[in-house]
């Protein structure tokens, strides 16, 4: 099979292109695309456990822990013990993270618009639905 027909290759190179662009745009805020994912979850849900964050972002627990460690050092999140279950950690966004929500969301919107610019509305919808289908499928059964 030719590389330009291999789904893994195409998705990897596409993802790398988007990742590089987004990383550059997020640099002034000292956050990474992965940290944006966590912030997006917290902006919507307010409080989540690390496990819930991992489930939403399709990440392993060790990856979530590493991301949260860096975010806590950067004063973007707080981790507190759940008063109802002392074995559970609750993650929340700090005021610093809340203050950057609007400019970060604008960066994400602009990036989406730029990356999808060459496509018609029908193609955009199809592409997003196709990627969501791939994500929803569990091929590791």
More confident residue, 141 or 36: 36
From the options 1.10.10.10, 1.20.120.80, 1.10.260.40, 3.30.70.660, give the CATH code of 22-136.
Answer: 1.10.10.10
pLDDT reported for residue 14: 93
Of all residues in the chain, the percent with pLDDT exceeding 70 is 97
- Could you tell me the two tokens for 20? 């590089």
Task: Read off the pTM.
Answer: 0.87
pLDDT in tens, 48-95: 999 999 999 988 888 999 999 999 999 999 999 988 888 899 999 999
Residue 105, CB-side half-sphere exposure with 13 Å CA sphere? 11
Write down the domain spans for the chain: 22-136
Cα-based distances in Å from 97 to 53, 66, 103? 16, 18, 11
């Amino acid at each position: 099979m030719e590389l330009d027909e291999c789904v893994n290759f195409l998705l990897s190179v596409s993802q790398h292109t988007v990742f590089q662009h987004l990383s550059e745009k997020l640099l002034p805020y000292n956050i990474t695309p992965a940290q944006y994912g966590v912030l997006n979850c917290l902006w919507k849900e307010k409080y989540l456990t690390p496990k819930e964050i991992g489930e939403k972002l399709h990440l392993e627990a060790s990856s979530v822990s590493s991301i949260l460690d860096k975010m806590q050092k950067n004063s973007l999140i707080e981790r507190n013990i759940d008063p109802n279950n002392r074995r559970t950690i609750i993650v929340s966004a700090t005021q610093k993270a809340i203050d950057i929500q609007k400019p970060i969301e604008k960066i994400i919107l602009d990036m989406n618009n730029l990356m999808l610019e060459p496509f018609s509305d029908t193609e955009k919808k199809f592409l997003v639905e196709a990627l969501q289908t791939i994500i929803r499928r569990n091929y590791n059964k």
